[in-house]
């Protein structure tokens, strides 16, 4: 087998939201892009609730009309339910912005991801499904080639001037270079399933994401209404609490449902329509995001926590920012790590704002009471909940929050 020197300008590893976004936006600018995805779509994936700020990337990708005419449930708000069952006022996203971008969607990821991948194809991306990247072979700081395996077992060495890692939690490059760091405090796990016919609030709140505390605040449930009358419902807690000396995933799930009467009531009129899923240790970040001829995006760079549904937004956003840096890099003849990762400092500042909000939640911070006491910060909180993480001044809310809760210092990331 000989490594081929002729080929595409860009190879994207992974065809989830970050990879499809980056590939599409680079191809839109006339570059040859090849994408390798190990699965065949449609394939199952968790991560169904969106933040409104996804709108702008989805618009640039040209898929808004498809989303608007899709059966995906419209999401206008998020609502928190205390361990005693007390419901906060819904945080309606349009409160701060009456634009159509304030409405977002709850999606079946198999359908959404396929839509984005087909859109990449439409824009000229060469998509190879059922093709797994087996290894990323480095020579110093540069990638010498990728070893890929096609679905028929055939192996091939491939290379391009720019390699984008969008392999999600597999984080191929970050693991290879041992630069992936778990979050020191967010050692969480999740167990989830799907119900049909479970209760939904009426009207505008029908598509709301609910975040419901379990008694003793040991954990929380997500409750995400999807189309076909399906609800995605899952519990998140510390790995130790959720999995140590516990039974099957089914037992864990139902024990936690018993500790959360607000979820129990909602599920009572529905029936379970899937088995149980579980995952753990999903919060981490790479210590750098790029090198000469390579860049990390989406979960392959880092993932925070499911609590505010920020994962897909950050995947789309990093895919977009990396695509712009790649296109500019080709124009300038500069494919250095500094160029390919130039977007990272600002992006990580936004991610860090979200991380503080995540820590505050797990420290038991009461957002409802906070905005009642400091109504001037309600807007900032909603800005963060919609995903407007990069806005000037939004961070001042953390100064006020620090009076009540221990928040982490802002971390930075090396570009390369």
Ligand X SMILES: Cc1cc2nc3c(=O)[nH]c(=O)nc-3n(C[C@H](O)[C@H](O)[C@H](O)COP(=O)(O)OP(=O)(O)OC[C@H]3O[C@@H](n4cnc5c(N)ncnc54)[C@H](O)[C@@H]3O)c2cc1C
Query: What is the rounded CA–CA span in Å between residue 142 and residue 307?
Result: 36
Query: Segment contacting ligand X (CB under 6 A): 260-268, 305-313, 322-330, 406-414?
Result: 305-313
Query: Segment contacting ligand X (CB under 6 A): 72-80, 199-207, 293-301, 356-364?
Result: 293-301
Among 66, 118, 126, 170, binds ligand X (CB under 6 A): 170
Question: Cα–Cα distances in Å, from 352 out to 50, 307, 382, 408, 409?
Answer: 19, 14, 16, 9, 9
Among 15, 270, 291, 302, binds ligand X (CB under 6 A): 15
Query: What is the rounded CA–CA span in Å between residue 325 and residue 322?
Result: 5
Distant-in-sequence, close-in-space partners of 392: CB < 8 Å, separation ≥ 6: none
Distance of closest approach, residue 347 Cβ to ligand X, in angstroms? 13
Contact pattern from residue 92 through residue 111 relative to ligand X, giving x for each residue in contact according to CB under 6 A and a dash for the rest: --------------------
Residues touching ligand X: how many (CB under 6 A)? 38
Q: Between residue 113 and residue 142, which ones bind ligand X under the rule CB under 6 A? A: 132-133
The reply to whether 283 sits near ligand X by the rule CB under 6 A is: no
Query: What is the rounded CA–CA span in Å between residue 157 and residue 135?
Result: 10
Assess contact for 128 and 152: CB atoms under 8 A: no
The reply to whether 303 sits near ligand X by the rule CB under 6 A is: yes
The reply to whether 19 sits near ligand X by the rule CB under 6 A is: yes
Q: Please identify, using beta-carbon distances, which residue of 13 and 401 lies nearer to ligand X.
A: 13
Query: Segment contacting ligand X (CB under 6 A): 165-173, 351-359, 393-401, 403-411?
Result: 165-173
The reply to whether 259 sits near ligand X by the rule CB under 6 A is: no
The reply to whether 339 sits near ligand X by the rule CB under 6 A is: no
Neighbours of 40 (CB within 10 A): 11
Radius of gyration of the chain (CA): 21
The reply to whether 52 sits near ligand X by the rule CB under 6 A is: no
Q: Please identify, using beta-carbon distances, which residue of 315 and 370 lies nearer to ligand X.
A: 315
Query: What is the rounded CA–CA span in Å between residue 106 and residue 236?
Result: 19
Per-residue exposure over 109-129, b if at least 16 CB sit within 10 Å of its own CB, e if not = beebbbbbbebbeebebbbbe
Query: What is the rounded CA–CA span in Å between residue 186 and residue 156?
Result: 38
The reply to whether 156 sits near ligand X by the rule CB under 6 A is: no
Distance of closest approach, residue 402 Cβ to ligand X, in angstroms? 27
Distance of closest approach, residue 396 Cβ to ligand X, in angstroms? 26
The two tokens of residue 369 are 């009471």
Phi, psi of 381 (to 5 degrees): -60, -45
Among 7, 32, 42, 46, binds ligand X (CB under 6 A): 46
Among 9, 53, 256, 299, binds ligand X (CB under 6 A): 299
Query: Segment contacting ligand X (CB under 6 A): 57-65, 71-79, 163-171, 266-274?
Result: 163-171
Query: What is the rounded CA–CA span in Å between residue 17 and residue 319?
Result: 8
The reply to whether 242 sits near ligand X by the rule CB under 6 A is: no
Distance of closest approach, residue 342 Cβ to ligand X, in angstroms? 19
Q: Between residue 353 and residue 382, which ones bind ligand X under the rule CB under 6 A? A: none
The two tokens of residue 371 are 């905005």
Bridging pattern class, strands 230-238 and 219-225: antiparallel
Assess contact for 297 and 166: CB atoms under 8 A: yes
Neighbours of 408 (CB within 10 A): 15
Query: What is the rounded CA–CA span in Å between residue 182 and residue 339?
Result: 26
Query: What is the rounded CA–CA span in Å between residue 218 and residue 216?
Result: 5
Among 8, 14, 52, 270, binds ligand X (CB under 6 A): 14
The reply to whether 279 sits near ligand X by the rule CB under 6 A is: yes
Distance of closest approach, residue 36 Cβ to ligand X, in angstroms? 5
Among 90, 161, 270, 298, binds ligand X (CB under 6 A): 298
Distance of closest approach, residue 126 Cβ to ligand X, in angstroms? 14
The reply to whether 166 sits near ligand X by the rule CB under 6 A is: yes
| Binding footprint of ligand X on the chain (CB under 6 A) | 13-19, 36-39, 45-50, 132-133, 166-170, 172, 190, 279, 282, 298-300, 303, 306, 309, 311-313, 315
């Amino acid at each position: 087998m000989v490594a081929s020197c002729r080929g595409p300008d860009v190879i994207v590893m992974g065809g989830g939201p970050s990879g499809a976004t980056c590939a599409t936006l680079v191809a839109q600018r006339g570059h040859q892009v090849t994408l390798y995805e190990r699965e065949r779509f449609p394939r199952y994936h968790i991560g169904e609730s969106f933040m409104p700020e996804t709108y702008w990337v989805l618009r640039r990708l040209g898929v808004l009309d498809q989303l608007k005419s899709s059966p995906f449930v419209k999401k206008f708000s998020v609502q928190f339910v205390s361990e005693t069952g007390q419901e906060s006022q819904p945080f309606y996203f349009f409160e701060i912005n009456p634009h159509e971008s304030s409405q977002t969607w709850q999606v079946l990821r198999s359908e959404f991801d396929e839509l984005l991948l087909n859109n990449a194809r439409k824009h000229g991306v060469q998509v190879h499904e059922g093709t797994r990247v087996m290894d990323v072979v480095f020579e110093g700081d540069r990638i010498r080639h990728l070893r890929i395996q096609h679905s028929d077992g055939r192996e091939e060495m491939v290379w391009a001037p720019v390699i984008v890692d969008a392999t999600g939690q597999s984080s191929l490059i970050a693991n290879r270079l041992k630069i992936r760091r778990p979050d020191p405090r967010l050692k969480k796990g999740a167990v989830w399933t799907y119900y049909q016919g479970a209760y939904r609030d009426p009207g505008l709140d029908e598509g709301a994401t609910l975040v419901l505390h379990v008694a003793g605040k040991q954990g929380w449930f997500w409750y995400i209404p999807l189309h076909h009358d399906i609800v995605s419902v899952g519990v998140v807690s510390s790995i130790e609490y959720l999995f140590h000396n516990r039974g099957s995933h089914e037992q864990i799930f139902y024990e936690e449902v018993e500790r959360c009467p607000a979820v129990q009531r909602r599920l009572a009129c529905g029936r379970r329509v899937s088995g149980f899923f579980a995952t753990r240790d999903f919060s981490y970040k790479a210590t750098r995001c790029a090198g000469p001829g390579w860049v990390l995006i989406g979960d392959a760079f880092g993932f925070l926590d499911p609590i505010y549904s920020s994962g897909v937004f950050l995947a789309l956003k990093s895919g977009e920012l990396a695509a712009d840096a790649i296109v500019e890099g080709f124009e300038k003849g500069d494919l250095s790590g500094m160029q390919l990762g130039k977007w990272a400092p600002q992006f990580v500042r936004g991610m860090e704002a979200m991380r503080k909000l995540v820590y505050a939640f797990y420290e038991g911070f009461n957002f409802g009471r906070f905005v009642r006491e400091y109504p001037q910060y309600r807007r900032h909180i909603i800005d963060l909940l919609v995903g407007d993480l990069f806005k000037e001044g939004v961070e001042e809310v953390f100064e006020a929050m620090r009076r009540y809760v221990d928040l982490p210092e802002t971390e930075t990331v090396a570009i390369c």
